[in-house]
Amino acid sequence: MARLVDTSDYLIAPDPNRSRLTHCIVGHDENGAATEIAVVEERPLTIFLNSQEIVTAMTIGDYPEYLALGFLKNQGMLHADDDIAAVEFDEELETVIVRTARQTDYEDKLRKKTRTSGCAIGTVFGDIMEGLEGVSLPNLTVKTSDLYILANTINRTPSLYLEAGAIHGTVLCQDARPLVYMEDVGRHNAVDKIAGWMLSEDVSPEDKILYTTGRLTSEMVIKTAMMGIPALVSRSGFTAWGIEIAQQVDLTLIGRMRGQRFVCLAGEHRLDRDADPKTVSDEPKAASRKAAR
C-alpha cells in the first residue's frame, strides 16, 4: 500500500477515527468465513432558513453548520450581502437553522426541485441555472506540476474512503497545497461543506482549485462556478452536460487525472504545462484509491 501522508498542513483534514461516522458490522466473505468491516453511517439533516424548511439531506453528520450554509449559498438562497445572525444546530432533532437579518420566503423556488445525478439523491432547484448568467470566473494560472502534487497528496491522505469506502471526497486547494478536505455520502454534500466553510471564514475563491473524487456532473460544475472557483479537477470522468456548462461559464474542467494522465475539456487557456508527464510517476495499482486498503 502507498505510504499515507501527514495531514498537519491541512486546515481541515478527514478524521477516519471520529466517533459516529462509521461502525463495524460482521459479515461473511466468499468462503463463508466471518469478517468484520467498517461501514459509513448516514443520517438525515433538515435545513431551515429562518422559519422555512428547505430540504432534508442524507449526510454522515459531520460539519452540519457548514453543510447548511454551503447548501443555501449554492442554491442562491443566501445573498452575498446577507447578514447571517446565527447558525443553530440541534443534534437531537437533527436540524440546522440558518437565521438572517433579511426576511426570506422561497415557497415558489421550493416547488421547482430537480433530482440530480449525485449520490444520495442530490437536489437543486429549478432556477439554479439563472444564477450562472452573471458568473465571471478569474483567470487563474493552473500549473500542471501543482496538479500532479495535489493528486498524489490527496490520494494518500488518511480518509473515511480508505477506512470504509462508499463515500466521496472534495478538497479545496491553493497552488500545490490541499487546504480543506470534506467527505460525505454524496459529493454534492462534500462540496457544500466547503462552500459553507469558505462563507463562514470569508475565504476568497479567486486563487483556489476544487478537487473531487467523484464524477464531473452538471451539479458539480454549477456549484463550483457559483462558488467563484475557476478550476475543477477529478480523478473520475465527465458528463456531457457538465462539460457544456463548464464551457459556457469558462470553468477549467480536468478529469481522469491518474498518475501521468489527465484530460482537460474546458478552460484549457488557464493551464501552464510546466511539468513533463514523463517525469511523473504513473499511479501503481497499489496506490489507487480503490485498492488502497
Indicate the pairing of strand 261-266 with strand 209-212.
unpaired
The whole model's pTM is what?
Answer: 0.89
Identify the sign of the CA torsion 196, 200, 206, 209: negative
List the Cα angle 287/292/293 in 5-degree steps: 155
Q: Which three cell numbers stand for residue 213?
A: 473524487
**Residue 35 CB: number of other CB atoms within 10 A?**
12
Q: Which three cell numbers stand for residue 210?
A: 476544487
pLDDT of residue 291: 38
Half-sphere exposure of 215 toward its Cβ, with a 13 Å CA cutoff? 15
Contact 277, 261 (CB under 8 A): yes
Contact 131, 249 (CB under 8 A): no
pLDDT level of residue 198 (50, 70, 90 thresholds): very high
Least Cα distance to 100 among 75, 81, 124 occurs for 81
Please spell the DSSP secondary structure of 73-85, one letter per residue: HHTT-S-TT--EE
pLDDT of residue 3: 77
List the Cα angle 220/146/168 in 5-degree steps: 35
pLDDT of residue 252: 98
Per DSSP, 2 falls in state P
Across the strands, what pairs with 90? 95
Q: Summarize pLDDT for 49-107 with one digit per residue, the tens.
A: 999 999 999 999 999 999 999 999 998 899 989 999 999 999 999 999 999 999 998 87
How far is it, in rounded angstroms, from Cα 253 to Cα 238?
Answer: 9
Distances 165 to 26, 196, 284 between C-alpha atoms, Å: 16, 24, 19
pLDDT at position 203 over 80: yes
How far is it, in rounded angstroms, from Cα 219 to Cα 267?
Answer: 18
pLDDT at position 290 over 80: no
The C-alpha cell 488518511 sits at 158
Q: With H, G, I as helix, E, B as strand and everything else as coil, classify residue 130.
A: helix
Per DSSP, 282 falls in state P
Q: What percent of the chain has pLDDT over 70?
A: 89
| H helix intervals, the chain | 64-74, 107-110, 144-155, 160-164, 187-201, 218-227, 240-249
Contact 280, 292 (CB under 8 A): no
